[in-house]
Copies of this chain bind each other. A is one copy, B any other.
């Protein structure tokens, strides 16, 4: 399950983001290095989701340069499709029958990985909140794109499931350009090559923090605990 395309970097260049009169970002420039996972932290409402939507080309003025997989803050499952069909949504929408057939096996495997093997025929409204989030995660991973954008992908999962799925994501997303919004500093430390704390308004990114060690990292690592404190302080608005 390696994509053939080499993952590109993501660039934000002098971006303006505004909703009506409310300016979220102004002249924002930022780079997300190719083939790496960048975790974004930031206070609620600072503009993380907006930035991600910008990167996905969903905001006015933004463009989507390369194929991406996008996992939004809400699960966005289609209620009329089974869980399996939801996971395969991208292939169904692109209408390539051969690709769809060949993807089905992977979709089932992914559902198995996220613990929904027995639920692939259920409708989304028969799932619990965490199950829905896992289905959305499986859909995003199934897309198999060089660039992956994820908005709080594990927010509704219990600690154990979260830990396992972090491993899964780290494995499947290796060598892709990933931008992941999270509220959990430990999650960022476990999964991010780079971690950036966003502040604002206007939206600004702190210096990238680059913990060492291969992904996924061990959260019990003492070095990480120090960074944890630093992240919290930065979040609190007191850069150390």
Contacts and interface: CB of A to CB of B under 8 A. Distances in A.
Interface of A: 19, 22, 41-45, 49, 73-74, 115, 126-131, 134, 152, 155-162, 183-185, 232, 235-236
A166 to B, nearest CB: 13
Contacts of A185: 159
Contacts of A130: 44-45, 183
Contacts of A160: 43, 232, 235-236
Contacts of A184: 159
Contacts of A161: 43-44
A73 B158 contact: no
Given A44-B128, A49-B128, A126-B19, A152 B156 contact: yes
Contacts of A49: 128-129
Contact of A45 (B44, B128, B152): B128
B159 A44 contact: no
How many chain copies does the complex carry? 2
Contacts of A19: 126
A156 B153 CA distance: 11
Nearest to A22: B126
Given A42-B158, A43-B160, A44-B115, 9 more contacts: A44-B130, A44-B156, A44-B158, A45-B131, A49-B128, A49-B129, A152-B156, A155-B155, A159-B185
Contacts of A45: 115, 127-128, 130-131
Contacts of A22: 126
Given A44-B130, A127-B45, A128-B44, A155 B156 contact: yes
A158 B128 contact: no
A131 B235 contact: no
A199 B124 CA distance: 22
Contacts of A73: 129, 156
A115 B46 CA distance: 12
A157 B44 contact: yes
A137 to B, nearest CB: 11
A159 B235 contact: yes
Nearest to A126: B19
Residue with the highest number of chain B CB atoms closer than 10 Å, among A19, A155, A185, A236: A155
30 contacts: A19-B126, A22-B126, A41-B159, A43-B160, A44-B115, A44-B128, A44-B129, A44-B130, A44-B131, A44-B134, A44-B156, A44-B161, A45-B115, A45-B127, A45-B130, A49-B128, A74-B129, A130-B183, A155-B155, A155-B156, A157-B183, A158-B183, A159-B183, A159-B184, A159-B185, A159-B232, A159-B235, A160-B235, A160-B236, A162-B183
